[in-house]
Every structure is written in C-alpha cells, then in structure tokens.
Amino acid sequence: MADWKFYGRRGQLADLERMLGRRRWFFAKVTGRRRIGKTTLIQQAMQELGNRQPVFYVQVPDADSAGLLSAVNDALETFQVPADRHPRPTNLLQLAKLLESMAEEGYILILDEFQYFHRKGYEEFCSYLQASVDRLETKGGQVRGGLIVLGSIHTEMVALLDDRTAPLYNRVTDTIHLTHLDVGSILTILEEHAEPTPERLLFLWTLFEGVPKFYRDLYEQDVLGGERKTLLRRIFFESSSPLRSEAENWFLRELRGRYDVILKFVARNPGRMHQEIVQAIRESSGTADTQVGGYLKVLIERFSLIERKLPIFAPPNAKRSRYYVTDNFLCSWLAALANPVSAIAFRPIDELIEEADQRLEVVEGRSLEKLVGQLYEERSRKGIGDFPITHRVQGFWDKADTELDLVAIDETTETIRFGSCKRSPKKLMSDVNHFQQHVERFLQAMPRYQGWKQQFVGISPVLDSAQRRFLTSHDILPQDLSDLTRDLI
C-alpha cells in the first residue's frame, strides 16, 4: 500500500513557509472547519523548511480559566518545556507572560480552537495577550518565535481578532483560510490509493467532500478502495468505527435544542423556504415556538452550517429564500446515517447498512449538482476544457418552479450554458422535455440572454454510448464525471 502524503494546499503551504522563513515575530491566524487540515499544514511547512525551532501546542478547551490553565500545564509537561525558565502559570496574566517569554526564546506557539477565548470570562486574558503581542512586535527581528492561532468558528475568530473593539484588533500579521481540497487533489488521493471511478468519486465526495482527515481515516482503515457497504460498515457501524460519533463530537456539541432539529429538517428537506421550516419545527415540537428564525440566523452567521440561497438576481431581502446544509458530511450524516447508526444495538447490522446506503443514494443525487458546479469552476480556473466561465448563476426558481441545475456564463463570448444533472441516466433521458421548458422560462424571465449563444448539457456520473446519442439527438451535449474530471490532475 502506498504511503500517505500531503495533498493539495500548495498555495497556503508556500504562504506559511514564507512566514516561518522570515525568522522574526509573527502573529498568524489560520481558520477553517474542523478536520480541514490546519495543524497538518503547519506540520508540513515546518517539515519542508527543516525548521528546528521548539514547538509548543495546546488545544484550548471549552472550559473556564481553571480548565484552560490545567490544559496548558499538561501541554508544557508533554512538550518538555523547562519549568525553571518558564514557570507554570496559575492565572491568566501569567499565561500571557509565559507565551511572551517562550516566543522571545524562539518557540513556535500554536493555540488550537482559539475561538473559545471569545467566551465570557476571558476578556482579561485577551487584554493581557494584547500587551504581550505589542511588546513582541516592537522587538521585531529580535524575536525568533511566533504565535499561530487556529480556529474553526469563523464569526468568533472575527470577533476576537478583526472587530475594532477587540483588544487584539489589527495585531494579526498573517492570515490563512483553509477550505476543502479541490477535486483534483481528491482524484490524486484516489489514483494513489484506490481506483478513481466516477461512482467512487461521487460516493466519497458526497460523504466527505474535500476534508483530508476523513480520507486519511479511510486510508488507515484500508477501505478507501473498498465497496460501498464495506466502507460504511467499517467507518460508521462497527464498534471501533472512527467516524461513528464525529458529527456529535465535532459539529453538534456546540449546539443545543432547536438547532439540532432545524439541521435535521434542512438536511432531509433541502431547498425548503423559511415558512416551511418554521411550520415543520412547530409541528414536530408541538409548540408555537417563535424563535426558529433566530436559530436559523445563528446557524447561518455564526456556525456557517446552513446557507441561504436567494432567487436568481433577487435583492438580499427577497422573501423566497431557500435553505441548505453547507457541509457534505453533516448533511449525509443527518439525512442518511444518523438513524441507522443509532439502531445498531437493536436491528441486524446488514439491514441498517442497506438502509443507510439507499438513503445516501438520494443524497448523492442532490450532491451531484454541487460537485458539477465545482468541477466547472475548477476546470475554468485551471484553463481546462472548452468552456471558461466568468461566473455561475446559483440556481433559479420562480412562481412556475423553474429549476436549473447548472447555469454557467462566459461574458467574454456572450455564451450561456444550461445543465441538467441527474444521478440516474434514465431520469436524465426522461427529463429532456422538462429541462428545455425550464430553459425557455429562464430566457423569458431574463431576456438579456436571449441573443446569446446557448448551450445545453446533460450530466450523469456515467453515460454509455446509447445515452450519449440520445442526448446529442436533442441538441444536448452529454457529459459524465469522466469527461469533467479529465486532465484535472
């Protein structure tokens, strides 16, 4: 079995290496969802630079100051930081001074889950840390160490570091934000450790999108190239399954009460409007709860777990918004996996895996549209293929329920491409007339595009020669995932 490597992230890696290579004080912010690879990126940069500076890492607990100081002191012992030069802190002021003295001595300090310092009770520490950071900044090149703070809740990191009223405002010297690995990087992983078939790509991307830690888990469990049900059994249903409690531990532990109910409903009913969500939550709870809108707002703005999509070309205050779970793993877990996994003590495991697999097929049908959109953007960004896009229209609906899975626009040549995405090729064939009707309604509503060159594509994971001929006979360009992933690596 080939060894696991570091995949993707070359741009962010170069930024981090330049920062570390300056050999002077820095205060860096690295953000991104949990498991996205923030710590791994730092490790890789230091390894490639051959950096021999001492490192101190601590994961900030979601606890009071006593719990924080306990975690710090445990980490000091783990990293064998000499107590005679760096006395163990017993309060928050001493902690800030400890970090300052370690940076002066050349330590690379890494504080993970830094967003917890936004919790009530840490105001004094942020002011103490501000004073230490300011003193270190004035010494500049005399300080060989630096501070890297990692955070997974974007709004709380913004409140700590970018809000004008925050003590640490304008102190950050370097910022790196990690998003999902691109599809090209995922294909590289599959080429080296499995077979990158279209079916496998869609299945794994639906579950894990571009979260490298999840693919590493599959690799370590030796199921990255396994059959669907074998993979589900090993990763989610067996007693030692590594991702069995992932959603609760990493997503839902921040949430309480109605948040969970809203996430479940939106994951299982994507594209519902606000009033539909409110009505469903009220019916399920048996109460006339009036705070659903507030919960939605928190899930969108604070946690970025739900996104609000507006009708095409609508103003920001449009009433017909639709809501979707943003994270593939969380959506797959809530829509397909959570219920079967919860029943493993009471029902035959083979039945539960079959049920989960069938539910995942439904989720895959929805995620194909998202994957295709990403592939179009990625191919255009890399200069691959025959359709460079200047922007994409993210969906469309009106009172006639016009829906288009892909609307890609090339302003330079005044070309617009409409796409229909279906997991099942049979449904793609049977949907040809409806697809064309949706395009006609779109063009009636958006007359500026009527004089443009119009292209039509029909997309499924795999298309055979007969299906391609059928689509071509209706002036629809056939594309499958093999076509769209060609030359991406």
pLDDT in tens, 55-68: 999 999 988 999 99
Asked whether the predicted pLDDT for residue 315 surpasses 90, the reply is no
Domain residue ranges of the chain, discontinuous segments joined by +: 10-177, 182-366, 383-485
Q: What angle do CA 108, 113, 119 make, to 5 degrees?
A: 120
What is the arithmetic mean of pLDDT over 482-487? 96
Mapped onto helix, strand or coil, the DSSP state of residue 209 is coil
Q: Which tops the pLDDT comparison, 399 or 337?
A: 337
Q: How far apart are CA 210 and CA 182, in angstroms?
A: 6
Q: What is the pLDDT of residue 51?
A: 76
Residue with tokens 């703070």: 149
Domain 383-485 has CATH 3.40.50.2300: no
Q: Which tops the pLDDT comparison, 482 or 253?
A: 482
CA 291 to chain centre: 27
- Residue 308: enclosing H or E segment and its boundaries? strand 306-309
Asked whether the predicted pLDDT for residue 409 surpasses 90, the reply is yes
Mapped onto helix, strand or coil, the DSSP state of residue 137 is helix
Asked whether the predicted pLDDT for residue 278 surpasses 90, the reply is no
Q: Which tops the pLDDT comparison, 295 or 255?
A: 295
Sheet holding 406-410, edge to edge: 391-393, 406-410, 415-421, 453-460, 477-480
pTM value is 0.92
Burial level of 236, CB count in 10 A (0-12/13-18/19+)?
A: buried
Domain 10-177 has CATH 3.40.50.300: yes
Burial level of 221, CB count in 10 A (0-12/13-18/19+)?
A: middle
Asked whether the predicted pLDDT for residue 476 surpasses 70, the reply is yes
Asked whether the predicted pLDDT for residue 289 surpasses 90, the reply is no
Asked whether the predicted pLDDT for residue 177 surpasses 80, the reply is yes
* Reported confidence tier of residue 254, pLDDT bands at 50, 70, 90: low
| 121-157 tens-digit pLDDT | 898 999 999 999 999 999 978 999 999 999 988 889 9
Q: Which CATH architecture has domain 182-366?
A: Orthogonal Bundle (1.10)
Residues in the chain: 489
Residue 280 carries which DSSP code? H
What is the arithmetic mean of pLDDT over 90-103? 97
